[in-house]
Amino acid sequence: MEDSDLNKIHEYFGLDSTIFTSPAWSELQKTENEIGPDALLSIIIDKRLWTNAEIAWVLRRLIYFYGKKDTYLKEAPIERIFTSMVDVLRAFFLLFDHLDPDIDDNMRTYICNKLGDATWGINSRTREYLYKMKK
């Protein structure tokens, strides 16, 4: 990661040191460029224990693929998609609970907005809507 990128991270999020600024992350980026993301993903998931940088890298890949909303995931069984999302949420919950991070207001606003959007379907208004749609 270049110095200008690190300055942007500090400016936007108030973070000096993150996984993305670590030597381990730089090494993962280098490996990804050398062997490709699919090969790196295979190497990581074959390991029993992952480093923090590897966990963040896998989360980034999940965001990439789930964010694409392409035909591959549309063909996946819906139960499997939900299981995958629950697994990600459990990992995030455990990390958040364990670290209890001190988050600045900008980052907290971003996280709250994303989590608020993600509650679609579990709050009472959308559950009622889905129930009516089912009838």
Specify the length of the chain in residues.
Answer: 135
pLDDT surpasses 60 at 19: yes
Q: What is the pTM of this model?
A: 0.72
Please report, in angstroms and rounded to a whole number, the separation of the first and last CA atoms in the chain.
Answer: 53
What string of DSSP letters covers 33-88?
A: HHH-HHHHHHHHHHSSS--HHHHHHHHHHHHHHHHH--HHHHTS-HHHHHHHHHHH
- The answer to whether 32 and 4 have CB atoms below 8 angstroms apart is no
pLDDT-derived band of residue 14, with 50, 70 and 90 as boundaries?
Answer: low
Which structure tokens are listed for 11?
A: 């400016």
* Predicted confidence (pLDDT) per residue in 90-130, tens digit: 998 888 888 888 888 898 899 899 888 888 877 788 788 88
